[in-house]
Structure 1
Amino acid sequence: MAGEPQPSGAPTKGGWITFPFLIATMAGLAVASGGWVSNIIVYLINEFNIKSVDAAQIANIINGCVSMFPILGAILADSFFGSFTIISASSLISLAGIVLLTLTAVIDSLKPAPCENGSTLCMGPSKTQLGILYTSLALSSIGVAGTRFTLATMGADQFDNPKHQGVFFNWHFFTMYAGTVVSMVGFVYMEDNVGWGLGYGLCVAANLIGLAIFVAGKRYYRLMKPQSSPFTRLAYVIVAALRKRKVLLSSKSEDYWQETQAEGTKFVRTTPTNSFKFLDHAALIIHGDTNSDGSIKKQWNLCTLQQVEDLKTLFRISPLWSTGILLSTPIAIQISLTVLQVLAMDRHLGPTFQIPAGTMMVFVMLSSSISLAIIDRFLLPTFQKLTGTSATPLQLIGVGHALNVLSMAISALVESKRLETARSYNLNGNSIVPLSVFWMVPQLVTVGVGEAFHLPGNVSLYYQEFPKSLKSTAAAMVSMYIGIAFYLGTAIIDFLQKTTRWLPNGINDGRMNNVYWVLTLIALINFGYYLICTWLYEYQNVERKELSKSSPYPC
């Protein structure tokens, strides 16, 4: 992306000089967020005496916010304030949230009294304590969400060469995952074994360092002027189509407003496609839509035909996009329930060391990272040699769906084994079951390998199929359905709690294995739905012959 014209004699901004500032910023913010997000369920249970399933529900809402709000951050950055302002403000908001969270850990009056060992009577948090806690979590979540994708976009803006942009994206996401792993292993251990105040205090320090480094690099950044959001332009289409819904459509191309062509290029009029004809009203020219010089009078009354076709493209791909919601919902529920299972299992590694419950998700991240390298360097080249074509994004996503079903089935079997062991020892409530926590590894590795297939596959699909004006939102669309999945997962758990006895506060008294079998069924039905959508879908912006020659990975 080209930057804004610089004044004569002014130093050129952007380029590789900005790289260390932006990557170091991502490292600091990733370490800070990973240190509190990955262990929040344990904190809520141990320090605020919140019931285990309720703590898992709160964690789902937090993860939903972190996944959904990047869309809002991107729109605000692109349309109103610019990336630098949004990243700076979001970093300050997350800093304030983590500071407040740290205060809840170190000031006794901000949390309920600890439960006595062996006592079943625990005093829950007061309304004031919950209000402060929820405020800290809300600020921290909003701050994290406002930086991740906006920082990636700003980094890409510093480079004109697409290859350099790709290199930056790779380093950005690698740094994000590496920072999260570091905090999962190091900070979470300190929180569980040294003190919550120290662990969260280190998160504050990491956030502050990341923000300071980001601000220090301002003089080197290429700052792009905010423009109208592509989502706003799509909203124009819907409003204009509704306003002119009673006007008869025309079959003549000259009756529709076309994109203005650059000087010296041949202008070729086109007619609207046959699908979603109602939207064609938005580009239909009627009296009063244009000024005397031929320009559009009001964008809410008349849109270009390209804007109409862009919205149609989104409608065509929306069924495939919707499959991502039920693909991610079982994973979202699995993430929270896994922590509860781990807390009720033998976590010893050696005679004294105990694995922190929040650290177990490292197996997902490690298996995803390793699988990405194996897929890119071995599986895809082998597939191309054997078949003569490259794997398409839809094929990769399909493999991810299948592995997701398998992971849920493994989870159900492992939980059945855990419950069988608990009952053989007459253990109830959340008592520790003499079963090694490493029984959980196969399901976590399987879901991690699945993510290595379906996450890049989905990003690649949307990047290829989305209209040009929406290319930069491809990754954000994946983040959006993940966020919806966390909220849907919360609703499913709440429904199962109210209608079944599978999820009591003491998981040894329930049937969490049945929950996993339900998730297996949901994942299996969704896989079938995905196959139907794939069968019916026709590529829009990329020909099949082009897809067979290109890598499905955008970077």
Structure 2
Amino acid sequence: MAETTKSMLVPADIEAKMSSSRSKKGGFLTLFFITGTLSGVVLSGFGWLANLIVYLVEEFNVESINATQISNVVHGCINLIPILGAIIADSFLGIFPVVAISSFISTLGMILLTLTAKLSSLRPPPCETGSSLCRTPSKLQSAVLCLSITMASAGLGGSRYTLATMGANQLDKPKDKETFFNWFFFTVFASSIISSTAVVYVEESISWALGYAICFAANFVALSVFLAGHRFYRRDEPRGSPFTGLLRVLVAAVRKRKVVLTSKHEDYYHEECGTNKVLPTAPKQSFRFLNRAAMKTEGDIASDGSIARPWKLCSLQQVEDLKTLIRLLPIWSTGIFLTTPIAIQSSITVIQALSMDRHLGSRFKIPAASIIVVVLVSSSIFVALFDRFLFPAWQKLTGRPLTPLQRIGIGHVINVLSMTISAAVESKRLKTVHDNNLEAHPGAIVPMQVWWLFPQLVVVGIGDALHFPGQAALYYQEFPASLRSTATAMVSLVVGIAFYVSTGLIDLIRNVTGWLPGNINSGRLDNLYWILVTAGALNFIYFLVCAKLYKCKTIEM
């Protein structure tokens, strides 16, 4: 597995040049505003998102598996939107306006979602889950619900990972940036715990309208806190779309496909965007075809030394930036199949919990959606343990830090282990169903404690504490500086695609097999988990090959 030689997120010379052009603002003070904003955004977003399946089933009379699929689609959208927000931030508006606008949109969405819970005219008449007499929502009710979820999703997706880039940009020391990513995810996990327990409990046990009103209030406070810190933020202004420069490399390489490559340093254009930024080395031999884009030919250079034909000549830096992205794609793609089992498990586990004994004592009943809090608690605890104790201990023992690639690799292994445990637990649950002859009883509660689901969720949380911060650190470290917001959003893109893949996979299995009927007590969820174990093991082998072939930037402490 490839390693960096030192523990730093960007080369010292590049970081120094970037720092010299920045404002004196920024620093640790701004992190109070950023983490405060993040806490409110996540508290609001996951307050309705964590309980969406139950809300659809109990309030909108949607079948359980269909509600699961809808939830997967919404999760996918929320995790794809950050890429759009990142592109807009990097290319046009900057990070501050994107976060502010996104938070405002989600605030409006929460107002509308609260109204769907408050006004009975915006919901179908209640009925028992699984009853054939249940009425589906009208077109107007479906439209209002869809609009409210869309706006709330857009706000959550547009601000969450953009705040990660903004926070890292406030710091100068690479080690501080790496630590920030760990605590960024800790904040996300910790805020999600509150959403998945206190807010979900209010929604299910007191009032859906009150629970959603709390989410609205949290979103409004987050927006207020973010705007309050505007005087202290360090802002990196957008310089136009960096994707245009990458596209120019492809176009120029194709147009110069007949040009003979040389190894002479002076044959390549080293100046970028009219500045005097010079690369100290010749182009790398990987993807040599692209090197033609930086080769100087007659008529490419203007009299003042600038590029005369920008779609026929690019800087060597732009060429190497595109090569970096191409080399990262295989490693990034392994994250999709790493996250797909987690996406499936997060929704299926809620359905499993609905069919199990969730009583804690004689009076309190654990909300089904709150079962996912076990993952969040585990992730929060282990993020802190890794950052404060285990990672430093590893560095003392081996003399080198645990690299982002290594953290991701360990996350792969733990993910396969969690799916193995899930398959074994589901086999136990189905055996209990058969022993009590509950296969033909939709909605029947299996005499099996919900605690059986805890081990697999704890293991998933340990994996999340490794591979999600590891991916964020890797992309931030390796991506070109002009694509910083896009770099951190790549983690979200992985999750978003994984939710869509999980939706497609579940649909495929439903159509091909009889494992996933409307009544899971008569199905075979354990077979689904065994498929995920096999796919996860194959994906880990693929990751090892990609990581072995990839060489990270050589950087200094």
Q: TM-score, normalised by structure 2?
A: 0.89
SS in 2 for 1:434: strand
Give the Cα separation in 1 of the matches to 2:298 and 2:63: 64
- Distance in 2 separating the partners of 1:165 and 1:515: 39
**Residues 321-352 of structure 1, C-alpha deviation per residue, up to 9 Å, x if partnerless?**
21111111111111111111011111100101
Answer with 216-225 or 44-53: which moved more: 216-225
Amino acid corresponding to residue 479 of structure 1 in structure 2: S
1:69 to 62, 70, 81: 81
Please say if 1:415 is aligned against 2:426: yes
Matched to 2:488, the amino acid is A
Q: For residue 456 of structure 1, what is the aligned residue in structure 2?
A: 469
Report if the CA contact (8 A) 2:168-2:177 is conserved.
Answer: yes
Aligned AA (1:519): L
How far the C-alpha of 1:218 sits from its partner, in A, is 2.9
Distance 2:232 2:421 in 1: 50
Structure 2 match to 1:195: 207
**Whole-angstrom CA distance in 2 between matches of 1:263 and 1:101:** 50
Offset at residue 128 of structure 1 (A): 2.5
Residues 36-115 of structure 1: pairs in structure 2 closer than 5 A: 36-115=48-127
Which residue identity is paired with 1:458? Q
> What is the aligned partner in structure 1 of residue 162 from structure 2?
150
Partner of 1:178: 190
The corresponding residue for 2:489 is: 476
Choose the corresponding residue for 2:361, options 301, 326, 350: 350
CA distance in structure 2 between the partners assigned to 1:421 and 1:123 by the alignment:
32
Kindly tell me: are residues 323 and 153 of structure 1, through their superposed partners in 2, closer, same or farther at Cα, counting changes over 3 Å?
closer
Quick one: which of 227, 230, 237 aligns to 1:225? 237
Cα distance, 1:154 vs structure 2: 2.9
1:432 corresponding residue in structure 2: 445
In 1, distance between residues paired with 2:178 and 2:392?
20
Q: Structure 1 residues 421 and 150, CA, compared in 2 at 3 Å: closer, same or farther?
A: same
Q: Show the counterpart of 2:521.
A: 508
| Counterpart position of 2:133 | 121
The CA distance in 2 between the partners of 1:384 and 1:149, in whole Å, is 28
Q: Does 1:303 align with 2:297?
A: no
- Give runs of aligned pairs for residues 120-519 of structure 1, distance below 5 A: 120-160=132-172, 172-259=184-271, 270-384=281-395, 386-427=397-438, 428-470=441-483, 473-519=486-532
Shift of 1:166: 5.8
Aligned-residue offset at 1:206:
1.1
Q: Post-superposition shift, 1:229?
A: 3.9
Bigger CA drift: 491-500 or 476-485? Answer: 476-485
Compute the displacement of 1:529 (Å): 1.5
- SS at structure 2 position matched to 1:218: coil
Contact 1:3 1:222 in 2 (8 A): no
Aligned-pair distance for 1:248? Answer: 4.2
Tell me the C-alpha RMSD between the 2 structures.
2.7
Q: Note if contact 1:254-1:269 (Cα within 8 Å) is conserved in structure 2.
A: no
Query: Which residue in the other structure is 2:7 paired with?
Result: none
TM-score, structure 1 normalization: 0.89
Give the whole-Å Cα distance in 2 for the aligned partners of 1:169 and 1:518.
32
Q: Does structure 2 conserve the Cα–Cα contact (< 8 Å) formed by 1:393 and 1:461? A: yes
CA distance in 2, matches of 1:114, 1:517: 37
For CA contacts below 8 A with separation 6 or more, give which structure has more relative contact order: 2
Q: 1:186-242: CA deviations, max 9, x gaps? A: 110011111111100111111112212222333444444222343333222223223
**How many corresponding residue pairs?**
538
| 1:457–1:185 Cα change, 3 Å | same
CA deviations over 1:507-545 (Å, ceiling 9, x no partner)? 11211111111111111111122222233x2424127xx
Q: Which stretch of structure 1 is more off in the superposition, 316-325 or 40-49?
A: 316-325
| Aligned match for 2:45, one of 33, 37, 44 | 33
Secondary structure class of the residue paired with 2:359: coil
CA shift, 1:440, in A, is 0.2
Aligned to 1:553: none
CA distance in 2, matches of 1:338, 1:37: 15
> What displacement does 1:173 show?
3.8
Cα distance in 2 between the residues matched to 1:358 and 1:446: 18
Q: 1:225, 1:165 → 2: CA distance?
A: 19
1:286 alignment partner AA? T
> Matched residues in 2 for 1:376 and 1:124: separation?
49
Amino acid paired to 2:494: Y
Structure 1 residues 435, 223: CA separation in 2 closer, same or farther (over 3 Å shift)?
same
- 3-state SS, counterpart of residue 286 of structure 1: coil
8 Å CA contact 2:47–2:200 kept in 1: the answer is yes
Gap runs ≥5 in structure 1: 7-11, 551-555
Change (3 A) 1:459 1:224: closer
Contact preservation (8 Å) 2:169, 2:234: yes
In structure 1, what is the equivalent of residue 8 of structure 2? Answer: none
Name structure 2 gaps, 5 residues minimum. 1-17
* 1:268 CA displacement: 6.9
